[in-house]
Amino acid sequence: MTRRDFFATSAILGVPVHAAEAGQPDWRNVKNGWQIPREGYSDQPYVVVTRDGNWLCVLTTGRGVEGEPGQHIISTISTDLGRTWSTPIDIEPADGPEASWVMPFIAPGGRVYVFYTYNSENLRLDTRSNNPKVGRRVDTLGKYAYKYSDDHGHSWSKDRYFIPMRPMRIDRENAWEGKLMYFWGVGKPILTSKKEMIFGYAKVGKWGDPGGMVTSQGVFMKSSNIATEKDPAKLHWELLPEGDEGLRAPKNPVSDEANLVELSDGSLYCTYRSIDGYNCAAYSRNGGRTWTPPGYATYTPGGRPIKHPRAANFVRKFSNGKFLLWYHNHAGEAVHAQKWPYYTGRNPGWITGGVEKNGFIHWSQPEILLYDDNPDTRISYPDFVEDKGRYYITETVKTYARVHPIDQTLLDGIWNQLENKSVAKRGLVATAAGRAASVALPKLAELSSGGGFSLEFWVRLSELSEGQVLFDTMTASGQGVSVRTSDRFTLALTMSDGRTRASWDSDPGTHAGTLRSGVWQHVVFIVDGGPKIISVVIDGVLNDGGAVRDYGWGRFAAELGDVNGEPEGKVGSKIFGEIRKLRVYSRALRTSEAVGNCRAGIDA
């Protein structure tokens, strides 16, 4: 199924009405964030906490759209944890050469550096592309420049400095034979335990169609003395990895936007985007000089690959030694069987929590972190801020950049997911045991107002034939909720308010998190009226679509409202097998709660 197949509606057509939140505003909705100043176009809002306790945000902006003349870099300061911001000041002016993709770094002494792509020769040229529109862009070429601030970002050095960039094969094979280089970086540099600064960026080989950047490789720039050297002109620079090749994807020629973290033993872990349907990841055990062979990021070493479209995927490490990975949780092999539009599918934004074990990062089942009511909104290029015991995220939708405080319990859930063996109690409104039972149900909140619900089963099916009924509240007029086996050996949840109908099923196939016959399985359907998403967790694994489909979660229409059906739900009225337990929640469980319920066991 494609993203547009998620909707199953009747009677109501036209533009969906954006849902209002039930009760308090949903902090995950990007519109509830605090805006960061910008001129028009707004990209890559990255924040550092300066020595005076304030937040310094740097970003790329302009009065037009991305890539137009006048694109430049600015900074702004917040004294109240991102709620309000100062009037921006130019790091580079709008009437100068293009300055883009700025990344901040605080040296141990408090000096703030910013690194950015700078069209130093103010070139106006055709990049010899097969697409004239792309070929006129001059915001991703020139020199890697840097400036600094010794007053916490209130002003910036008049002088700019340039990083020497060693040409590699991908540069020599570009249209200018390496005499002019194309590149850009994302994220923030890190300071390693050896007091070396490293940041990732991408070298671009060819421009044009498809996708603008047709070929790219990930590389890293390291400074060994930035922590101690006071003269910015005397910084030492080294391009990594060694040799003539950067980081690459296993299949396709796009490998860019590398960003990295350091593990407790000094190893480096990086993630970068591809067009293979997965994000890529690599480890270095020697300070970035060499890296593991091209490979996809996986939730566990050698485990399930992490699905991701062509979009930013960022990894961050926090003071507790744990990690977060931002991504979009769809794509995979299925994208190669259809025409896949580039740079779409960036809503919602998901995160997975990482913990370090034996030199590798183990990632949790993911959670939705941010969403927009419009499915086509592109939420991307986030930054995470840790300050005064709280966590925040910045993001951009290209026209607005915002700050959002993160609910600490969401992070606690993903970081402690594998230790949690408790059953969620909040919102538990009904339980039942055994087949052919019925359960009295309270009235659920309307989905169009941000309500949600969850259905949890411990079930053993002796066969997976179509038409078995695990749960049903449908009225004669077709209003209510049902869970049945489908014609492709899955479980399908269907819900209707009598006018609008939606359905989504669990993953087909044989991978982890799919139905099997003859064994006890734990199944949770989660209906979330904030982002309007149905997700499925089977045996503690959030469905991601596997090899068959690019999405493991589905959307329902914003106008779908009251899905309350019969006041009593029928449990196991027609199945070949057993239902040991049903739980009904009057809210959308988090993925971590569904995993915890599974780990608690069938007798909990």
For residue 396, is pLDDT > 50? yes
In a domain, 32, yes or no: yes
Alpha helix locations (H) across 136-204?
169-172
Number of C-beta neighbours around residue 159 at 10 A: 9
Looking at the structure, do residues 209 and 140 belong to the same domain, yes or no?
A: yes
**Number of domains observed in the structure of the chain:** 2
Looking at the structure, do residues 398 and 505 belong to the same domain, yes or no?
A: no
Looking at the structure, do residues 493 and 357 belong to the same domain, yes or no?
A: no
pLDDT tier, 143 (very low <50, low <70, confident <90, very high otherwise): very high
Please compute the mean of the pLDDT values over residues 12-29 and round it to a whole number. 54
Give the pLDDT of residue 8.
33
CA triplet 465, 466, 469: central angle to 5 degrees?
105
Give the pLDDT of residue 127.
67
Tokens of 542: 């959030």
In a domain, 9, yes or no: no
Q: Given 385, 419, 453, which residue is the final one in a domain? A: 419
**Partner residues linked to 601 by β-bridges:** none
Q: What does the buried/exposed string (b/e) look like for 531-550 if buried means 16 or more CB atoms within 10 Å of the residue's CB?
A: bbbbbbbbbbbbbbbbebbb
The pLDDT tens digits for 273-307 are: 999 999 999 999 999 999 999 999 999 999 999 99
In a domain, 262, yes or no: yes
The pLDDT tens digits for 566-594 are: 999 999 999 999 999 999 999 999 999 99
Number of C-beta neighbours around residue 126 at 10 A: 12
Residue type present at position 379: I
Domain of 162, CATH number, reads 2.120.10.10
Tokens of 237: 């620079």
Give the pLDDT of residue 12.
26
Percent of the chain whose predicted confidence (pLDDT) is above 70 = 95
pLDDT tier, 337 (very low <50, low <70, confident <90, very high otherwise): low
Tokens of 511: 């991978």
For residue 330, is pLDDT > 80? yes
Distance CA 29, CA 27 (A): 6
For residue 9, is pLDDT > 60? no
Looking at the structure, do residues 436 and 371 belong to the same domain, yes or no?
A: no
Give the pLDDT of residue 23.
63
Percent of the chain as helix, strand, coil, to the nearest 5: 10, 40, 50
Residue type present at position 397: V
For residue 6, is pLDDT > 50? no
Looking at the structure, do residues 312 and 353 belong to the same domain, yes or no?
A: yes
Please compute the mean of the pLDDT values over residues 54-71 and round it to a whole number. 95
pLDDT tier, 504 (very low <50, low <70, confident <90, very high otherwise): very high
Whose tokens are 């609910």? That residue is 407
For residue 139, is pLDDT > 50? yes
For residue 340, is pLDDT > 90? no
Q: What does the buried/exposed string (b/e) look like for 51-71 if buried means 16 or more CB atoms within 10 Å of the residue's CB?
A: eeebbbbbbbbbeeeebebbb
Looking at the structure, do residues 280 and 372 belong to the same domain, yes or no?
A: yes
Give the pLDDT of residue 19.
32
In a domain, 342, yes or no: yes
Give the pLDDT of residue 256.
95
Tokens of 347: 């809503």
Mean pLDDT (the chain, rounded)? 94
Give the pLDDT of residue 434.
77
* 597 and 423 Cβ atoms separated by less than 8 Å: yes
For residue 221, is pLDDT > 70? yes
Number of C-beta neighbours around residue 467 at 10 A: 10
Looking at the structure, do residues 384 and 530 belong to the same domain, yes or no?
A: no
For residue 40, is pLDDT > 50? yes
In a domain, 6, yes or no: no
Looking at the structure, do residues 575 and 487 belong to the same domain, yes or no?
A: yes
CA triplet 200, 357, 405: central angle to 5 degrees?
60
Q: Given 365, 385, 419, which residue is the final one in a domain? A: 419
Distance CA 40, CA 73 (A): 12
* 64 and 41 Cβ atoms separated by less than 8 Å: yes
Distance CA 14, CA 502 (A): 16
Which residue, 168, 149, 64, 135, is CA-closest to 102?
149
pTM attached to this predicted model: 0.94
CA 428 → CA 163, 424, 527, distances in Å?
58, 8, 14
CA 318 → CA 199, 315, 333, 387, 389, distances in Å?
17, 10, 32, 10, 11
Which residue, 126, 142, 246, 233, is CA-closest to 184?
142
Please compute the mean of the pLDDT values over residues 597-604 and round it to a whole number. 97
Q: Given 419, 445, 470, which residue is the final one in a domain? A: 419
* 98 and 72 Cβ atoms separated by less than 8 Å: yes
Looking at the structure, do residues 307 and 389 belong to the same domain, yes or no?
A: yes
For residue 4, is pLDDT > 70? no
Please compute the mean of the pLDDT values over residues 500-522 and round it to a whole number. 97
Looking at the structure, do residues 84 and 204 belong to the same domain, yes or no?
A: yes
Residue 580 φ/ψ, nearest 5 degrees? -85, -35
In a domain, 359, yes or no: yes
Looking at the structure, do residues 450 and 374 belong to the same domain, yes or no?
A: no
Rg (CA), the chain: 25
In a domain, 44, yes or no: yes
pLDDT tier, 338 (very low <50, low <70, confident <90, very high otherwise): low
Looking at the structure, do residues 300 and 436 belong to the same domain, yes or no?
A: no
* 201 and 188 Cβ atoms separated by less than 8 Å: no
Range of the domain at 583: 428-600
* 355 and 361 Cβ atoms separated by less than 8 Å: yes
For residue 16, is pLDDT > 80? no
Which residue, 80, 175, 82, is CA-closest to 125?
175
In a domain, 15, yes or no: no
The pLDDT tens digits for 73-125 are: 999 999 999 999 999 999 999 999 999 999 999 999 999 999 999 999 999 88
Domain of 547, CATH number, reads 2.60.120.200
